[in-house]
């Protein structure tokens, strides 16, 4: 229908076509109220007829803003695309960002030089601020960005918790609750497959597990702790180790649902029934958790809410740069399903 014949049309041309000055045309397009109805209509008509789209570079140069924020994910690409955490997070971010007409730009630095590139990218003004997730402990990036005056919000618990805006899920209490639930179901030898130890969420979930045991008066046992890496295969591998080290275990708390899939497979292969022999609780409440065999109990994190909160915090920081850093802590909820059903007293009377 319309053909813009490949030429970039500028504000000047729109103004000319509408018979007004460039300044007035600009006002119309930035929704400045001080424009007469006539002028407004003329400009709008001209703009749509010419297929005008404001040039980003020009606008950014004049305003000093880019109307975009970066989501910087420190994960190998394969994990990024495997982990259901990210679509949920992005949905939450999107809720807030699109309502303010802001673009989300995804950056996934894989190497140290990539991380430098991210710093330059952000410092070059491509974006107005950065959202950082899966940040390894003590990574220099947040401080670097902050020293350049770039607003930053961290998802998860940063190393220096008070220096930066951050939104975290209460991983410790979420995990402790999961353990308490297993204890309440009659389990006594509770193992855990942890996440990566270099990620705060992994550390916190382990701590919650330990606190849960302690609260229940159960003895700690390092052989019941096996490190996973947030992958399905890693979960299966960890479970196999646990079964070798502590064959008598009767429950496992797994630090992510993806790993829990591997755990269930490993248990199945080892001939253990879930939940009769071993109860399993996962973490994340991935949609697939319901579809697993048996349906997986899981700690539900408010990830969409986390995204929304991160976006809000960042937009606030962009808007008023001198506000001191804020911290938001979100609570989890345990979704109880069949994989952690309580032990039943056996008919034969062989009590536990």
Give the strand pairing for 327-330 and 129-133: unpaired
CB of 6 to its own copies, least distance (A): 3
Please, what sign has the CA dihedral across residues 270, 276, 282, 288?
positive
**List of residues contacting DNA (CB under 7 A):** 8, 10-12, 19-24, 26-27, 29-30, 32-36, 38-39, 52, 54-55, 57-59, 61-64
Beta bridge partners of 190: 251
CB of 53 to its own copies, least distance (A): 4
| Contacted entry of DNA, its own copies, none for residue 248, CB cut-off 5 to 8 Å set by kind | none
Asked if 31 is part of the footprint of its own copies (rule: CB under 8 A), the reply reads: no
Rounded CA separation 110/90 (Å): 19
Q: Which of 33, 34, 37, 120 binds its own copies (CB under 8 A)?
A: 120
Query: Binding marks (x or -) toward its own copies, 223..242, rule CB under 8 A?
Result: ----------x---------
Burial of residue 222 (number of CB atoms within 10 Å: 0-12, 13-18, 19+): exposed
CB of 255 to its own copies, least distance (A): 20
| Contacted entry of DNA, its own copies, none for residue 217, CB cut-off 5 to 8 Å set by kind | none
Q: Which of 31, 78, 99, 248 binds its own copies (CB under 8 A)?
A: 78
| Contacted entry of DNA, its own copies, none for residue 80, CB cut-off 5 to 8 Å set by kind | its own copies
Asked if 57 is part of the footprint of its own copies (rule: CB under 8 A), the reply reads: yes
Would you give the end-to-end CA distance of the chain in angstroms? 77
Asked whether the bond before 170 is cis by omega within 30 degrees of 0, the reply is no
Give the strand pairing for 152-155 and 165-169: parallel
Give the strand pairing for 297-300 and 333-335: antiparallel
Helix orientation angle between 37-50 and 11-18, rounded to the nearest 10 degrees: 130
Asked if 294 is part of the footprint of its own copies (rule: CB under 8 A), the reply reads: no
CB of 102 to DNA, least distance (A): 15
CB of 336 to DNA, least distance (A): 53
Q: Where in the chain does DSSP place strands (E)?
A: 68-73, 103-107, 129-133, 152-155, 165-169, 190-194, 225-227, 251-254, 279-283, 297-300, 327-330, 333-335
Helix orientation angle between 85-99 and 303-319, rounded to the nearest 10 degrees: 40
Query: Binding marks (x or -) toward its own copies, 243..282, rule CB under 8 A?
Result: ----------------------------------------
Helix orientation angle between 200-215 and 171-184, rounded to the nearest 10 degrees: 40
Which lies closer to its own copies via its Cβ, residue 57 or residue 351? Answer: 57
Asked if 74 is part of the footprint of its own copies (rule: CB under 8 A), the reply reads: no
Q: Which of 10, 103, 159, 189 binds its own copies (CB under 8 A)?
A: 103
Give the list of residues 6+ apart from residue 44 with CB closer than 8 angstroms, or none: 28
Q: Given the rule CB under 8 A, which of 121-129, 205-213, 275-283, 337-345 is the region that contacts its own copies?
A: 121-129
Asked if 215 is part of the footprint of its own copies (rule: CB under 8 A), the reply reads: no
Q: Which of 32, 45, 81, 333 binds its own copies (CB under 8 A)?
A: 81
Q: Which of 83, 229, 250, 309 binds its own copies (CB under 8 A)?
A: 83
φ, ψ dihedrals at 155, nearest 5°: -95, 125
Q: Which of residues 4-23 bind its own copies (CB under 8 A)?
A: 4-8
Cβ(255)–Cβ(192) under 8 Å? yes
CB of 48 to DNA, least distance (A): 14
Residues forming contacts to its own copies in the complex (CB under 8 A) are: 2-8, 51, 53-58, 60-61, 66, 77-78, 80-84, 86-87, 90-91, 103, 105-106, 120-121, 123-126, 147-149, 233, 291
């Amino acid at each position: 229908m319309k053909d813009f014949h490949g030429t970039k049309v500028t504000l000047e041309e729109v103004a000319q076509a509408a018979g007004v000055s460039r300044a007035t045309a600009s006002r119309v397009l930035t929704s400045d109220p001080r424009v007469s109805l006539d002028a407004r209509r003329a400009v709008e008509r001209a703009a749509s007829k010419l297929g005008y789209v404001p040039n980003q570079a020009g606008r950014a140069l004049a305003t000093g803003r880019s109307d975009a924020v970066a989501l910087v994910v420190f994960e190998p690409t394969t994990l990024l695309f495997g982990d259901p955490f990210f679509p949920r997070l992005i949905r939450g971010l999107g809720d807030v960002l699109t309502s303010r007409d802001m673009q989300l730009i995804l950056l996934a630095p894989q190497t140290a030089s990539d991380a430098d590139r991210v710093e330059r990218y952000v410092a070059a003004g491509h974006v107005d601020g950065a959202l950082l997730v899966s940040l390894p402990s003590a990574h220099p990036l947040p401080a670097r960005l902050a020293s350049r005056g770039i607003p930053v919000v961290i998802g998860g618990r940063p190393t220096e918790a008070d220096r930066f805006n951050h939104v975290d899920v209460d991983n410790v209490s979420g995990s402790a609750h999961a353990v308490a639930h297993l204890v309440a179901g009659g389990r006594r030898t509770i193992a855990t497959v942890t996440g990566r130890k270099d990620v705060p969420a992994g550390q916190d979930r382990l701590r919650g597990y330990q606190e849960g045991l302690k609260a229940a008066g159960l003895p700690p046992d390092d052989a019941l702790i096996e490190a996973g890496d947030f992958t399905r295969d890693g979960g299966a591998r960890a479970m196999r180790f646990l079964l070798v080290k502590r064959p008598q275990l009767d429950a496992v708390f797994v630090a992510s649902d993806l790993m829990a899939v591997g755990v269930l497979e490993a248990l199945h292969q080892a001939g253990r029934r879930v939940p009769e022999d071993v109860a399993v609780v996962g973490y994340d409440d991935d949609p697939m958790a319901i579809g697993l065999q048996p349906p997986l109990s899981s700690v539900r994190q408010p990830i969409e809410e986390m995204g929304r909160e991160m976006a809000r915090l960042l937009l606030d920081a962009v808007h008023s740069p001198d506000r001191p850093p804020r911290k938001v802590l979100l609570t989890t909820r345990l979704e109880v399903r069949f994989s952690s059903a309580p032990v039943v007293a056996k008919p034969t009377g062989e009590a536990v």
